[in-house]
Amino acid sequence: MSADAATRCTDCGAEIAPGLLACPGCARLIHAAELTKLASAAEEAERRGDFTAALAAWRRATELLPAQTLQRATIVKRMQSLSAAVDGRGEPPPGTGNPGANAGKKAGTAAGVGAVGLALTKSKALLALLVGNGKLLLLGLTKLPTVMSMLFYASWSSGRGAGFGIGLVASIYVHEVGHVAALRRYGIDASAPMFVPGFGAFVRLRQYPTDAHEEARTGLAGPLWGLAAAIVAAGIGVALGSRTALGVASLGATINLFNLLPVWQLDGARGLRALGRHERFALAAIGVVTGLVLHQSMPAVIGAIAFARAFSNAHPTGDRRAFALFAALIVAHALVATLPLSAWV
């Protein structure tokens, strides 16, 4: 019998077509056993304070529940609470572990044994963060499609020299890995970056953010990591007197500014979705002023679009952290983009 053939409900005998999540006869959940396992895994992750793992399990559970069920709506609300706890926007749901409290205890213990102990504690946390992000940066390089598309893109963009092509690809790759890092922080499954000459690169989402706050942070994470890549390239350019590195930094920052345009499916559009009306007005002012002061058109265009979009579909509560990050990215990328373009022309 074909794997796509309809089956029969074990409770009422009704025919269940492929793809259905509940029996049309008695409403029995098709994946009840797996849902039970996922709920147990999510609750255990919550108890130990691993909200990312909990979000991943709950997110998978929502895929196995019909869209209009009470169970799914309840899980989505819990995911939003966990997401807020991950961001520091709210307290974790009752009954969950609290990493912040544990961190506070550790910090207090370290303080008791002196400043050296506290410094070691912070150093270990920073080292763990760097190692985790370093592993993520290397992850895409283990995927053959990613590596092949990177090489093809580097070859396509090497008209200004192999060093410039490789540097530009590295800059874009870091930007895309920033998206992957943020998505994984929320337990969202996504592919490794893929490069398309003339377009840039993209990450394919296998799941989607729960709300506008998650979408804003995952969208702005790309330009944030891209800013780090541009600053590193600028530092190399200044230290070694490398016009190629300065060019990579300047063009990389310009590409990130373009991605911050709040239109279509660009990162800026995702970031803007979490901002309230007043935050959009403030972002518009920052973009226009930055463009005028630095004599750049892109920040001003971002500001003009943010102003126009402040009159419709603004988020009812806003997101101060997303706003601060968005504004900082506009200014910082505009500053890096002012590096002499003659370095790569």
Average the pLDDT over each of 37-41, 128-132, 295-299, 311-315 and give the range with the smallest value: 128-132
Residues in a beta bridge with 202: 194
Quick check: 206 pLDDT over 60?
yes
| Structure confidence at residue 18 (pLDDT) | 87
Quote the CA–CA distance of 321 and 310 in Å, as a whole number.
Answer: 18
Averaged confidence pLDDT in the chain: 82
Quick check: 287 pLDDT over 80?
yes
Phi-psi sector, 95: left (phi>0), alpha (psi -120 to 50), beta: left
Q: For residues 33-44, b (16+ Cβ closer than 10 Å) or e, as one string?
A: eebeebeebbee
* Token reading at 341: 């373009």
| Structure confidence at residue 228 (pLDDT) | 95
- CA trace torsion 2, 62, 224, 159 (10° rounding): 10
| Structure confidence at residue 150 (pLDDT) | 52
Instruction: Identify which of 156, 139, 49 has the alpha carbon closest to the alpha carbon of residue 103.
Output: 49
**pLDDT band with cut points at 50, 70 and 90 for residue 66:** very high
| Structure confidence at residue 325 (pLDDT) | 97
Quote the CA–CA distance of 212 and 276 in Å, as a whole number.
Answer: 11
| Structure confidence at residue 19 (pLDDT) | 87
**pLDDT band with cut points at 50, 70 and 90 for residue 107:** very low
Quote the CA–CA distance of 311 and 184 in Å, as a whole number.
Answer: 33
**Count, residues in the chain:** 345
Per DSSP, helices labelled H in 88-161 are 99-112, 115-139, 144-156
| Structure confidence at residue 190 (pLDDT) | 86
Average the pLDDT over each of 10-14, 121-125, 179-183 and give the range with the smallest value: 121-125
Average the pLDDT over each of 267-271, 285-289, 336-340 and give the range with the smallest value: 336-340
**pLDDT band with cut points at 50, 70 and 90 for residue 138:** low
SS3 breakdown of the chain: % helix, strand, coil, rounded to 5? 70, 5, 30
Domain ranges of the chain: 21-87, 98-142, 143-343
Quote the CA–CA distance of 133 and 131 in Å, as a whole number.
Answer: 5
